[in-house]
Amino acid sequence: MQFSAQQIALLINGQIDGDATVTVNNFGKIEEAQHGQLSFLANPKYEEYLYTTKASIVIINADLALKNNVTSTLIRVPNAYTAFAQLLQQYQQIKQQQLSGIEQPSFIATTASIGEQVYVGAFAYIGNHAKVGNNTKIYPVAFIGENAVIGNNVVLHPGVKIYHDCVIGNNVIIHAGTVIGGDGFGFAPQADGSFQKVPQIGNVVVEDYVEIGSNACIDRATIGSTIIRKGAKLDNLIQIAHNVEIGNHSVIAAQVGISGSTKIGKQVMIGGQAGIVGHITIADGSKINAQSGVSKSIKQPNTAVTGTPAYDYTSALRSQAISRSLPDLEKRIADLERQIQALLQKD
């Protein structure tokens, strides 16, 4: 597929500097791009490559003042990064629209409901009474359990598993290997030291516009629902336990673990490898630094915490600075002690 600078500018409401008829058919990083590729410049650290790149078209910020001549056609937009992301999304949608039909071998139960313009890849399984919405793409080896509901414009990448009774909203993307609706970690200790499994009869509800990375695990609720609210973005390798709730537009980085029944507020940001205990509440707008261990509720909105156990971010940084100074402080104290001892001996 080829697109001219004029067509691209219309898509992203940009202004053209250069040849509006030049075409591209691929994307490239500005420092590596070749003729026929489209690139972008958003980070000032890479501006030097604007004057040497071989890219045919480069998207730049509207207010960027050129320091040298450029050979590429430029498209100026208010925010180059956002405009480029928009183009990538449209390009991906075009590619996905080319997928259609039901590949064989695959299994679709006779009681399942399949919408229009759905793609089902080879070796996929759709169980009894499951519902799949319009324009949804189910890649090979995906599994959809009985009574599960999948909305419109959903993308389930290879090997995604949606267990029975779970609900996936509209415009959701779930990447390869993720499991939605596995049993929560519920075991009742017995008098003889063994553990009795507690049946997990709830489900998982993933609301609209959520994206979940690869190999994440979101457990079904013991009773009720584990809920991922609208617009949340989850990275790869995340563990979300039973009855957890993730608020609207919250962002969680890789290898985070959230224990059961914890409630995460709206627009919360959680850094990689953070761990959060169960049965606590994280206020709206909280920021949890990478590798933090959160052991109690964060009640004040827009609080930033770090460390294990996690506490106020600014105070933690001050403590770290003091800790780094401890060897020097120890030496100074030892010198003072020697001086005091010498003065005492003189007396």
| Residues noted as catalytic | 242
Rounded to 10 degrees, the C-alpha dihedral 284/201/239/305 comes to: 30
Q: How far is Cα of residue 197 from the mean position of the Cα atoms in its chain?
A: 32
With a CB cutoff of 8 Å and minimum separation 6, the contacts of 337 are none
Q: Is the dihedral of CA 331, 336, 342, 344 positive or negative?
A: negative
H-only helix segments in the chain: 5-12, 80-97, 313-346
DSSP secondary structure string for all residues of 88-127: HHHHHHHHHHT--EE-SS-EE-TT-EE-TT-EE-TT-EE-
Listed residue (165, 132, 161, 158) closest to 144, CA to CA: 161
Tokens 């759905």 correspond to 118
Which uninterrupted H or E stretch holds 180? strand 179-182
Question: Are 32 and 58 within 8 A, CB to CB?
Answer: no
CA distance 276 to 258: 5
